[in-house]
Amino acid sequence: MKLLASFLLLLVFAYATQDAPPYGPSQFSNIGTINDLTVTDPSDLFSGGTITVDGISMIIPNNSYVTLPSISVMWSELFVGGAPQLPQFGAPGVSWEATVYGNRIGDIYVVALVYITQSSVRIIQGFVNAIDLGTGEFWVAGTSAAPGTGIRARLNDPVGRYGLEYLDHPLWTVDAESPSVTAATGFPLCIPRYANGTDDPLCPLKNRVINGGVPTFIQFKTAATRSTTDPDPNVMAPLMVGDYITINGIEVGDGLLAVYSLVANLGLYTAPRETRKCNVPLL
Ligand SMILES: *[C@@H]1O[C@H](CO)[C@@H](O)[C@H](O)[C@H]1NC(C)=O
Ligand SMILES: *[C@@H]1O[C@H](CO)[C@@H](O)[C@H](O)[C@H]1NC(C)=O
């Protein structure tokens, strides 16, 4: 009887084990929360490192690119002096996430493709209820009659493509080449750069047509038919208080959302068959 009891105990507590994976390499695709990330040699642009996603430690090989919301950089460029440049990493309520694809070599996860962003599924929609032309900050999803309520945001625009420059977190930038700040029709939008009443020639007020106090859609005229006072499709159109927008961004602390993508519910249409460059320099 005693023997049977210890045999049963053995059954309950024994693990099935194996000495090696049944086959390999095997593929993995994981999506999860980043617990940790390191770079092996911060002084080497091409250095790999490690990333831990949902508790699983993975190798980032040398020469790896990492894809961020708008740009791709070398793995080492995520770090300054070995410290990851992920704003608010580890702060309560802030989730930095990775999508990783790769191969398990033996029991080691070796990453081939890696995508990183903060709160990857977050989308914020609402009306713009105030814009501070002095700083380029705007407020969204607040109370209409109370300017400055809601989420405080600004375009994360290190080169000043869509308005005033913002240099603090360049990894999490807007896309300055293939516009990520646009009307729903794809036309690029901007925030005027001057708070002193001067019209910004790269972001002129004439590119928003007001009809009965309400901004309306624009059908730009062709080069042959438009005058100097008509809306000009060669420059962007200003975002305005009252616009309904969809934004993605990252929390950078102090209640500020640094926006990398903005789409406004606006109809701005270029003339049929007319090409347009919108002050984006040719590369
Ligand atoms: C990766 O780069 C580091 C230096 O950053 C170097 O020490 C190491 O040997 C490299 N690994 C491979 C597999 O080339
Ligand atoms: C407003 O500021 C801009 C940029 O500093 C300047 O070029 C412009 O002359 C200013 N306008 C007025 C009215 O002061």
pLDDT tens track for 230-239: 999 999 999 9
- Per-residue confidence (pLDDT) for residue 239, from 0 to 100: 97
**Counting atoms of ligand 1 from 1, which one is nearest the CA of 47?**
5
Does residue 35 fall inside a structural domain?
yes
Single pTM value for the model? 0.89
Residues with CB under 6 A from ligand 1: 40-41, 44, 47-48, 62
pLDDT tens readout for residues 248-257: 999 999 999 9
Residues with CB under 6 A from ligand 2: 194, 196-198
Ligand 2 geometric centre to CA of 235 (Å): 19
Dist. CA 279 → ligand 2 center (Å): 21
Position 248 scores a pLDDT of 97
Tell me, yes or no, whether 281 lies in a domain: no
Residues 92 and 149 in one domain: no
Out of 50, 62, 111, give the residue to mutate to test ligand 1, the one with the largest number of ligand atoms within 8 Å of its CB: 62
Which residues, 6 or more positions from 205, have their beta carbon under 8 angstroms from its beta carbon? 192, 199, 238
From 90, 118, 146, give the residue that closes a domain: 118
Query: Is the domain of 83 the same as that of 58?
Result: yes
Same domain, residue pair 254 and 140: yes
Distance (Å) from CA 38 to ligand 2 centroid: 46
123 and 246 Cβ atoms separated by less than 8 Å: yes
Phi, psi of 6 (to 5 degrees): -70, -30
Residue of minimum CA distance from atom 9 in ligand 2? 198
Whether 219 maps to a domain, the answer reads yes
- Residues forming a β-bridge with 246: 125, 263
Q: Which atom belonging to ligand 2 lies closest to the Cα atom of 196?
A: 1
Which atom, in ligand 1's list, is nearest to the CA of 46? Answer: 5
Closest-CA residue, ligand 2 atom 8, reads 198
| Residue 191 lies inside a defined structural domain of this protein | yes
Pick the ligand that lies closest to the CA of residue 61: 1
Q: Please indicate, yes or no, if residue 4 is contained in any of the structural domains.
A: no
**Closest to 245 measured CA to CA, from 264, 217, 230:** 264
Q: Which of 100, 118, 136 is the last residue of a domain?
A: 118
Whole-number Å distance, alpha carbon 137 to ligand 2 midpoint, is: 19
Q: Residue 172 C-alpha to ligand 1 middle, in angstroms?
A: 27
Range of the domain at 128: 124-269
Q: Summarize pLDDT for 167-203 with one digit per residue, the tens.
A: 999 999 999 999 999 999 999 999 999 999 999 999 9
Share of the chain residues as helix, strand and coil, in percent rounded to the nearest 5: 10, 40, 55
Could you tell me the sign of the dihedral formed by the alpha carbons of 22, 28, 32, 35, in that order? Answer: positive
| 156 within 8 A of 249, measured Cβ to Cβ | yes
pLDDT at 283: 40
- Cβ within 8 Å of residue 101, ≥6 positions away: 27, 28, 29, 111, 112, 113, 114
CA 229 to ligand 2 center in whole angstroms: 20
Closest ligand 2 atom, residue 197 Cα: 13
Does 153 share its domain with 243? Answer: yes
List of the chain residues with pLDDT < 70: 1-13, 275-283
Of 89, 118, 147, which residue is a domain's last?
A: 118
Output the six-digit token pair for 281: 């320099």
Domains held by the chain: number:
2
User: Would 7 be classed as within a structural domain?
Assistant: no
Closest CA to 69 of 283, 257, 276: 257
